[in-house]
Structure 1
């Protein structure tokens, strides 16, 4: 039985008030008002009960706030901080006073890079963070990757390879990334600005560009940099996993997504034997730039420059050269199908002449190309299926890329033998 203080009293129905028959509520149009805080249908006992509930809720809320305040900074209750702003980055790296800060366009990809002008010059600032809300384990992988990039980028700069020069960050750092301890995992890195246009806009004679890139790739492959086996770019996903993703795509209310996933699965199944053979006979790994695409090559007044080394990875240098030859020869950046044979021959010839390590001149030379495309497509499919905590902009980009892969990968697979004849 409830205690007496919270038992509602039996209510009587009154026809009128004690003052002679007027109803116990204000007449229409009357200026009378109820007493503040009182409800016409709640009796005194119920109000007393609600008062006790509110008091208990206030005590509970105060206790909870006190417990949250006592949690350590890295706790999930900790409010994330905003990314480092331009002034903070400039102060930390000693770049001078900020004059201008604007985003750097990156085609149809979400921009994570800014151009910052200061009293000491012009700089490219990139932002990232260690881990994510649901995947704190990613920070370990990111740290290893950052130091791998640092070793290769430092060696390339020391060897005089034409590139944008990274700025050494203050401590604490992770590779070339500044990682202040009070920034909740936010990172920033700075590179000197290089005046020029990337090859999506600038026109450079095709064979001249191919000859330059073949020589640069060979020089990178010969740098004395320890190979990070954990950064091996040639891992593949089992067919069963791909089939599971396709079933998941079929369960979504998006027929186009399911069709694209099916088309990509067909390429995975058809290329399985070739990829397996390439991996069995794989030459030795070296450290490579990892993304020497036209978007990462600048045409400057003093010559061509290779930028954006954050994708540096352990790969077969011969595979990397073959892959870049085909990508450079493609008439459309979205697809590498239908490449110009002259460009492929020029790049491979320059690579060999500069002493780049070579391998079999057959379709297995494109094992890395297939693995890279399928790995990127797998990531796009994961994002499109909602398996990554990404922005709507990033989801849209990955969905478009998945549809592009579904359209172009089957043709790429059919052309491998034709490309292989150009490698000899």
Structure 2
């Protein structure tokens, strides 16, 4: 689908930088951002490559609008380092955590893996040194979190030491990014796509959705039946899970410290997220032995 220029009606803001608009073909999600540098342009190229390939492969997802002019991935330049992109607006609620979702997630992640788009670990896959963590957590008066961060970092580094093969992956498969639409479950928002090990991608998102046996087992079966590739069934299977968790905690610690220019409401939210991470990260590390058994 090529980009339409005939907007009808006023845009409705959904959140910062995101609007719902209408044109002669229906409703769209319009996103506008200002590039923060070459690292972000690289992310935009990666996400656009994966999103377009997934759409062409028939993966159940929001239909992207392909720019008429050359852009960066699926983003069209507006000037002054600003970019815009359009995607189909998919109407419907977010799904329940149930057997249907488990099987759909397993199948969908296997289909994305089979796109076989190569990727290398780069700045979009941060693993921060413990010295930096100690500095940030010290400033934020959160040093009690450092032992759990250390344990999670060790797991990530152990996984990376096995030299796994990375591919482009969605990296944000949560209920927030899944819509129960009239045509079935639909995946949205590829903007966080980047390098990940397919097996780690599966483990990360399935356990993040629901670590119970009733959810993990059918998701695993669906993943295998749909051609997904398994890997080690030890703690390194969770390297992607903890990498994603540490990245999210680090970003929100930075916000609490004022290292990013955000509204006070977002900074307050960051405090809550970091507080939750203080509790959940140690709990999840303690759950690893039980979780690993569900992969065997």
Higher strand share: 2
State the shift of 1:232 in Å: 5.4
Residue aligned with 1:115, SS: strand
* Structure 1 residue aligned with 2:279: 407
Query: 379, 386, 397: which one pairs with 2:269?
Result: 397
Residue aligned with 1:167, SS: coil
State the shift of 1:302 in Å: 1.3
Matched, 1:375 2:247: yes
Give the Cα–Cα distance (whole angstroms) in 1 for the partners of residues 196 and 170 of structure 2: 9
TM-score of the superposition, structure 2-length normalised? 0.93
State the shift of 1:194 in Å: 1.6
* Structure 1 residue aligned with 2:110: 218
* Structure 2 residue aligned with 1:271: 152
Give the Cα–Cα distance (whole angstroms) in 1 for the partners of residues 244 and 4 of structure 2: 38
Q: Relative to structure 2, which stretch is displaced further, 366-375 or 391-400?
A: 391-400
Give the Cα–Cα distance (whole angstroms) in 2 for the partners of residues 412 and 226 of structure 1: 30
* Structure 1 residue aligned with 2:34: 129
For 1:120-148, what per-residue CA distance to the aligned partner results, in whole angstroms no more than 9, with x for missing partners? 321111121112xxxxxxx2111111111
Relative contact order: is structure 1 or structure 2 higher (C-alpha 8 Å, sep ≥ 6)? 2
For 1:141-172, what per-residue CA distance to the aligned partner results, in whole angstroms no more than 9, with x for missing partners? 11111111111111101100011111122435
Give the Cα–Cα distance (whole angstroms) in 1 for the partners of residues 118 and 160 of structure 2: 21
Q: 1:146 to 1:391 in 2, by over 3 A?
A: same
Name which one, 1 or 2, has greater alpha-carbon Rg.
1
Query: 178, 188, 198: which one pairs with 2:94?
Result: 198
Residue aligned with 1:164, SS: coil
| Equivalence map 1:270-419=2 (5 Å) | 270-329=151-210, 339-419=211-291
Q: 1:169 to 1:345 in 2, by over 3 A?
A: same
* Structure 2 residue aligned with 1:252: none
| Equivalence map 1:115-194=2 (5 Å) | 115-131=20-36, 139-181=37-79, 184-194=80-90
Q: Relative to structure 2, which stretch is displaced further, 171-180 or 207-216?
A: 171-180
The 8 Å contact of residues 231 and 314 in structure 1, kept in 2 or not, is answered as no
Give the Cα–Cα distance (whole angstroms) in 2 for the partners of residues 231 and 354 of structure 1: 31
State the shift of 1:228 in Å: 4.3
Query: 235, 241, 254: which one pairs with 2:132?
Result: 241
Give the Cα–Cα distance (whole angstroms) in 2 for the partners of residues 351 and 232 of structure 1: 26
Gaps of 5+ in 2: none
Residue aligned with 2:287, SS: helix
Give the Cα–Cα distance (whole angstroms) in 2 for the partners of residues 399 and 311 of structure 1: 22
State the shift of 1:385 in Å: 0.5
Aligned residues: 295
Give the Cα–Cα distance (whole angstroms) in 1 for the partners of residues 279 and 192 of structure 2: 25
State the shift of 1:377 in Å: 0.5
CA RMSD of aligned residues (A): 1.9
For 1:88-131, what per-residue CA distance to the aligned partner results, in whole angstroms no more than 9, with x for missing partners? xxxx9434232132122xxxxx5432111234321111121112
Q: 1:102 to 1:232 in 2, by over 3 A?
A: closer
